[in-house]
Chain A
Amino acid sequence: GDSVTQMEGPVTLSEEAFLTINCTYTATGYPSLFWYVQYPGEGLQLLLKATKADDKGSNKGFEATYRKETTSFHLEKGSVQVSDSAVYFCALHNYGQNFVFGPGTRLSVLP
């Protein structure tokens, strides 16, 4: 079945550092890909999405590019802030299939 793999956390960075959270997937066909963010005590929020190969999703300074050749959808941000501290989930959806979430990566940003 379809699956999503994310880099192990926690990831700890200093403010203004560059962020990369790796995400790779296994799926048949052409799934849509998503990144969600969960702040402490809150539900998951859709951060960005991409629906076809080479699409770039972006939001709030975060970006991810749908790379079909490497089956990846890595999340990046050029300069993180303390307020970005959260858990980040990579996910995919194949038409007619269940949504599949990765295990999540906890990010801590230190001032």
Chain B
Amino acid sequence: DAGVIQSPRHEVTEMGQEVTLRCKPISGHNSLFWYRQTMMRGLELLIYFNNNVPIDDSGMPEDRFSAKMPNASFSTLKIQPSEPRDSAVYFCASSSPGTNFAQYFGPGTRLTVT
């Protein structure tokens, strides 16, 4: 079975541009999570969805960040406008009760905002 798929793997953009990160969770998983990882702050949960519904977005840093999950097999994280401090690795993960809620991570998207 394919794991969590993220695209793009690397993104370099200029400050002020819109950035869209994409995630395809593991088939059959009903929870999806977006994380951000930096050296300074470590791993931070941004938002998570259960059955395509956002449950907790308290980790979303500000209104520039938004996330959607239009169906069970696709989610996006959008940053508009992007800023240099958004530079980080963004991970998507999915889980289900059948995994004892263990989360399975994608390879991440390394975002650099110049």
Instruction: List A residues at the B interface (Cβ < 8 Å).
Output: 32, 34, 36, 42-46, 49, 51, 89, 93, 95, 98-99, 101, 103-104
Contact = CB atoms under 8 A, between A and B. Distances in A.
Contacts of A49: 100, 102
Contact of B100 (A32, A44, A89, A103): A32
| Interface SS, A side | strand
B7 to A, nearest CB: 13
Interface string B33-63: 1000000001101001000000010000000
A43 B104 CA distance: 9
B33 A99 contact: yes
Chain B, interface size category, equals 10 to 19
Given A49-B100, A103-B42, A44 B56 contact: no
B100 A98 contact: no
Contacts of B95: 99
A101 B48 contact: no
B10 to A, nearest CB: 11
Nearest to B101: A93
Given A51-B100, A93-B101, A99-B101, A43 B45 contact: no
Contacts of A98: 45, 48, 56
Contact of A43 (B100, B102, B105): B105
